[in-house]
Amino acid sequence: MALLLDELRSADGAAEAGARAWHLAEAMYPLCRSLTGAGVRATLDLIETQGGLPLQRTEVPSGTPVHDWEVPLEWSVRDAWIADAAGRRVVDFRAHNLHLMSYSVPVRRQMTLEELQPHLHSLPERPDDIPYRTSYYREHWAFCLRHRDRERLGPGPYEVVVDSTLAPGHLTLAECVVPGQSDDEILVHTHVCHPSLANDNLAGIAVAVELARALGRSRPRHTWRFIFAPGTIGSLTWLALRPEVLPRVRAGLVLGLLGDGAPLQYKRSRRGDTLTDRAAAHVLAGIEGARLLDFEPYGYDERQYGAPGFDLPVGRLTRSVNGGYPEYHCSADDMTLLRPQALAGALQALARLAQVLDGNRRLLNLSPFGEPRLGKRGLYRSTGGHAPGAFEHALLWVLSQSDGVHDLLAIAERSRLPFETIETAAEALQQAGLLRDLAPGEPAPAFTIPGPQTPKGTPT
């Protein structure tokens, strides 16, 4: 995996991947997505065809119990508009799918402006943008429009039409499983329910696709599972469907809002001290402007994976946070906001983070009584008197700390050397027969000091 992720970490490789991610987001942008329906399925189609990522889909029937929730009815919309007395559409779903509140029930009525006003949403502080609004779990309907257009509306009457259906159907989620050398898993989740919003969350989808494709061309240590599902109800549904996977989860990330110009930010898991948290802190320490955020029970699906009953080690990688940029949840979150270089930077960070999550392990020094001779194994320079170089320094740190208690990430943290350098040193020492892996949960064995060694000392 190291060479492949080195390629993603390079400026040229990341730029190519970032450009592909941007073009995939561009193709997905026009689709009207929601919790359920054709828009989600069409998005998954594009992930497979344009993104080149094979998916395993699951269709979960409406009404299926999901912990304290249930899978909602499937929503479909053919058209929606508000037309004035001359038949001119003053609000038109076909012009922009944010014009219709998601999950609006069907309606066909003649209304005055006074009657219509309670069903209109606009942003006085952003008069040229259309807000994004939903009503998933309460039967309601509404239109969203630019505040400037709302202020121009006359008294009416207006023809109001929502040509939609809410009917028994399915919630669709998809997974891509990259097999590893171990059944232990690392999760990557991204939400696929938002309509034409580029940063939230076409950026997360496109970045996840590129990372999954890259890992798929390797054979990682862990099995990596990428989950593409609608927000909240999607992750809860997956958690209900896959209880046998949960004990094998060693780390996890929720990806979202990764395409704007803000610095990278990592939101810690609920526990705050998991492998994912430690790995993110190590990687982001080397990225200018990057920040660590404490957990809070608001955000995206990290709060479902980290709920007390599951307590999975899942954090979130993002740039801006929910509500943390002016274009959030409105039509200004379009493809002009999405920057290929920001997607590339996220992929570079994820490549390093994946290296740490996948490569971290505990090792046991098989020659712990003093420093083994590295020169005769070709691991140390034959001429003495020199200070050790970075790689030789890493060899010594790994030998010193490989007591079955400290993992490679702990060694990197204490030595202040990059994880990649520590991991490379560990692999060299393993090939020389000086270290062995400890299985997850295997206790660190106690060292037994050997008896007298020959030649025997002579008293003086």
Is a pLDDT exceeding 60 seen at residue 386? Answer: no
Residue found by looking up tokens 């170089």 in the block:
389
> How far apart, in Å, are the Cα atoms of 435 and each of 298, 362, 401?
43, 10, 11
What total of structural domains would you count in the chain?
3
Q: Is residue 453 part of a domain?
A: no
Q: Is residue 443 part of a domain?
A: no
Whose CA is closest to 327, among 77, 98, 143, 30?
98
Q: 446 pLDDT band (50/70/90 cuts)?
A: confident
Q: Cα-flanking dihedrals φ and ψ of residue 420, to 5°?
A: -60, -40
Mean pLDDT of 351-359: 95
State whether 269 and 398 are in the same domain. no
List for the chain the helix, strand, coil content (%; round to 5): 35, 20, 45
State whether 37 and 109 are in the same domain. no
pLDDT given for residue 456 in this prediction: 63
State whether 201 and 65 are in the same domain. yes
The tens digit of pLDDT for each residue in 153-208 reads 999 899 999 999 999 999 999 999 999 999 999 999 999 999 999 999 999 999 99
Residues 6+ apart with CB under 8 A from 215: 1, 4, 178, 224, 354
State whether 206 and 236 are in the same domain. yes
State whether 6 and 28 are in the same domain. yes
pLDDT given for residue 163 in this prediction: 98
Q: Is residue 278 part of a domain?
A: yes
pLDDT given for residue 455 in this prediction: 63
Q: Is residue 271 part of a domain?
A: yes
Mean pLDDT of 370-380: 80
Q: Which of 135, 167, 199 is the last residue of a domain?
A: 167
Whole-model pTM?
Answer: 0.94
Is a pLDDT exceeding 80 seen at residue 39? Answer: yes
pLDDT given for residue 55 in this prediction: 98
Q: Is residue 460 part of a domain?
A: no
pLDDT given for residue 385 in this prediction: 44
Domain of 194 in residue numbering reads as 2-71+170-358
Q: Is residue 231 part of a domain?
A: yes
62 or 440, higher pLDDT: 62
State whether 212 and 306 are in the same domain. yes
pLDDT given for residue 9 in this prediction: 84
Q: Which residues are annotated as a binding site for Zn(2+)?
A: 194, 200, 329
Q: Which of 311, 334, 358 is the last residue of a domain?
A: 358
Whose CA is closest to 90, among 124, 115, 125, 116?
116
pLDDT given for residue 5 in this prediction: 74
Q: Is residue 98 part of a domain?
A: yes
The tens digit of pLDDT for each residue in 80-120 reads 999 999 999 999 999 999 999 999 999 999 999 999 999 99
Q: Is residue 218 part of a domain?
A: yes
What is the C-alpha to C-alpha distance for residues 201 and 191, in angstroms, rounded to an integer?
7
182: domain CATH number? Answer: 3.40.630.10
What's the alpha-carbon Rg for the chain, to the nearest Å?
A: 27
Q: Which of 167, 184, 212 is the last residue of a domain?
A: 167
Q: Which of 31-40, 192-201, 267-276, 386-395 has the lowest mean pLDDT?
A: 386-395
435-437 vs 314-318, strand pairing mode = unpaired
State whether 183 and 315 are in the same domain. yes
247 DSSP assignment: G
pLDDT given for residue 31 in this prediction: 97
Highest mean pLDDT out of 11-15, 75-79, 433-437: 75-79
Mean of pLDDT over the chain: 93
Is a pLDDT exceeding 90 seen at residue 1? Answer: no
pLDDT given for residue 451 in this prediction: 75
Q: Which residues are annotated as a binding site?
A: 194, 200, 329
Element at 176 (helix H, strand E): strand 170-178
Q: Which of 34-48, 119-133, 288-302, 442-456 has the lowest mean pLDDT?
A: 442-456
State whether 220 and 291 are in the same domain. yes
